[in-house]
Amino acid sequence: MSKVQPKAATESLSFIPQSLWKLITSETSRQTSLLFTAQLVSSTINALSGAILFRSFDPGNYGILVFCLTSVIQFLNYFFEFGVFAAGTRLLAIERNPKDSRSLIGALISLSVIIGISFSVLIVFVVFVAGNFGPNLVTISKYISNNTNSDTSLFLNPQVRTFLIEVSPLCAILPVQLCLEQICQGLNQIRLLSLLRVLLPVTTFLSVLLLSFFNHLTILTALFCSLGAIVFSCAIIILLLKPSFSNLKQNISLVLSETKRFGFDIYFGRITTMISTKLDGILIPLFLSAAELGYYNIGQKFPDNLTSLSRSMAITRFKTFANESEVRRVIIQSNLLLLTSGALSLILIAPYLLVLLYSEKAIPAIALLPAFAIGAFFGGMFQPYNAFLAAHGQGGELRNISVFIGLINVLSLFFVLPRFGLMGAAWMVAGASTINFSLHYYYYRLVCQTKARKQPPHITMVDLSNDTATGLNWVKEKYGEAELDLVNKAEARSGSQLARLWQMRAQKREVFIVFCDRLEWQTRRTPMLIFGLLIGCKECWLVDAHNLSERNSRLRIIFLKIPHLFVELLGSFLVIIFSWF
């Protein structure tokens, strides 16, 4: 039998201050602030470390350091996750037993160690293979690009190959680091994740500063500083997590089973995206020069901070997203506001900070900042939707997005870099981020619509009649079982309408109904429809006690009702002016 559940629609008219206070004092807000602060501190210290390195080396040697650490080691590391950690994160997010969670942590760390050892072996293998395929890269780059300054010799440089072989044992820690970050995200252990984010740059900075003071800072020692800092930080986090290795075989089987079901789709999509977005680190020295790779790397440092808050918010909400039907509106709105202000600040202030930190040698990177700012803006916008889709196990959708974006990036890079240089690559990043956000939002809406069909609709009915029972019967006949917010005539006419608007926007509402005695006698119909539109309803109804009704969609209100209202207001104004004359 159809069932309508009336409930009070208005509990307080002082919604705005209460809502803001609730948002500020919520656990999510505290965790987001903590993680963002840690990320901000991390980015600041990384910028200081980068400034010391950039000032100590010439642009070419700094580009070689970036090539070894980013273009080779970190690039190859993206292949060595296999969806295991993403699957483990989801298992931890839905696990309620602390003892079982610790056993899952032990299984994930064990798998990460195995993956890390194989990653170190791969580094050595790639170095030897590069000696055979390096001449082919030189030939390809000369065929595609006419730039005689391109540093294709990086792929043949014996010194670079020696650097990579010597640091290859430490490279085993990179999959472990990724595993620990995913574990902290799945457990919602934001304090540990924040500690890891701060320990890494602090240890690196102190090591670089010490080596610089004693004049022992070289490309090789800088690489050891970066990787050694990861080893030290990960060891501390593992001790704090207190993993359990009981039922190891059973938990490994569980993780691998989830990887087959969900994780591999995430992995396939992730490596497609990462390959395409990080491919510029390989192609820039191939088509341009190592120095320009250094400028490109510096230009990305400040925009990366712009997405930190969005990423932090998405990480702290990951466990909550797994049990929610949609992303809360307040998160989307606050994310948009912060990203907009951050992008504008980046364009206006970052050029001065860039020169202040990295000296005037970094001036060529300033021209890249507007494009990177736009790319970071849309890169931050899709973070909540990405976390939501991952938390709900939508691996196929994320894979489709990644494959599409990956194809666009790869094809664009080979076309843009030889012809438009760094500027073309930067604007290509901005365009790809925009498309990436659009696709995430599209799939997010599909998932929300699918879940909404399985739940009773949320209806708000403003009763302006003297026959509430007839209105409730109309809702039953039209929507069946529904969750109904009933606002009577007295409530509708009292208090602040603006406060009521903000209060209603705080909750999910799909249908807005104005129920009156006679539709043709009812005044202010369009303003009431606009009110329903502003509180987030997908459709608005005007219904009377004599079974007359009028349905209005969002598009109908925006493109028909609102223009018609303005025409009526303008006509009334002209009539008043004419009457006065």
Rounded CA separation 61/294 (Å): 9
CA 573/CA 581 separation, integer angstroms: 13
Which tokens hold the place of 241?
Answer: 């997590």
At 546 the three-state DSSP class reads: coil
Map 122-135 to HEC letters. HHHHHHHHHHHHHH
- According to DSSP, residue 456 is labeled P
CA dist 344 and 400 (Å) reads 32
DSSP state of 366: G
Supply the DSSP symbol for 326: S
Give yes or no for a contact between 421 and 292, defined as CB atoms under 8 angstroms apart. yes
Q: Per the structure block, which two tokens stand in for 230?
A: 């990861």
Q: What is the pLDDT of residue 486?
A: 86
In angstroms, rounded to a whole number, what is the distance separating the alpha carbons of residues 263 and 358? Answer: 40
Q: 3-state DSSP call for residue 218? A: coil
From residue 360, give the alpha-carbon distance in Å to each of 86, 303, 317, 353, 355. Answer: 42, 19, 41, 11, 5
Residue ranges in 259-394 assigned as alpha helix (H)? 264-278, 280-287, 290-306, 308-316, 318-321, 329-358, 369-381, 383-391
Q: In the prediction, which pLDDT does 10 show?
A: 41
* Tens digit of each residue's pLDDT, the chain (581 residues): 344 544 444 444 344 445 444 545 555 567 667 777 787 788 788 888 888 888 888 877 888 888 888 878 887 887 777 778 877 877 887 777 888 888 888 888 999 899 999 989 888 888 877 655 555 555 544 444 455 444 445 555 677 888 888 898 999 999 999 889 888 877 878 788 888 888 988 999 999 999 888 888 888 899 999 999 999 999 999 999 888 888 888 888 888 887 777 666 666 666 666 665 667 777 777 777 777 877 887 888 777 777 777 777 777 676 677 677 778 777 787 888 888 888 888 888 888 888 888 878 888 888 888 888 898 899 888 888 888 887 776 767 777 787 787 778 777 878 888 888 888 888 888 888 888 888 888 888 888 777 766 677 788 888 888 788 888 888 888 887 778 888 887 777 777 777 777 777 777 778 899 998 888 888 888 888 888 888 888 889 999 888 888 888 888 888 888 888 888 888 777 777 777 77
Distance, in Å, from the CA atom of 474 to the CA atom of 484, rounded to the nearest integer, reads 12
Q: What percentage of the chain's residues is helix, strand, coil (to nearest 5)?
A: 80, 5, 15
Which residue shows structure tokens 């293979």? 129
Give whole-number Cα distances, 118 to 94, 125, 174, 235, in Å. Answer: 30, 10, 11, 19
Strand partners, 513: 461, 541
Residue with tokens 């208090």: 495
The answer to whether the CB of 201 falls within 8 A of the CB of 45 is yes
Q: Are 483 and 456 in contact (CB under 8 A)?
A: yes
Ordered DSSP codes for 383-416: HHHHHHHHHTT-HHHHHHHHHHHHHHHHHHHHHH
Could you give the dihedral angle defined by the CA atoms of residues 194, 67, 379 and 382, in that order, rounded to the nearest 10 degrees? -70
Residue 550's DSSP bridge partners are 542
Are 20 and 499 a contacting pair, CB within 8 Å?
no
Task: Count CA atoms within 13 Å of residue 199 on its CB side.
Answer: 19
Give the tokens for residue 192.
Answer: 């540990």
- DSSP annotation of 12 reads -
Distance between CA 514 and CA 465 in Å, rounded?
Answer: 9
Which whole-number Å values give the CA distances from 44 to 31, 304, 345, in the listed order? 20, 11, 16
Query: Cα–Cα distance between 151 and 306 in angstroms, integer?
Result: 31
Residue 67's pLDDT is: 82
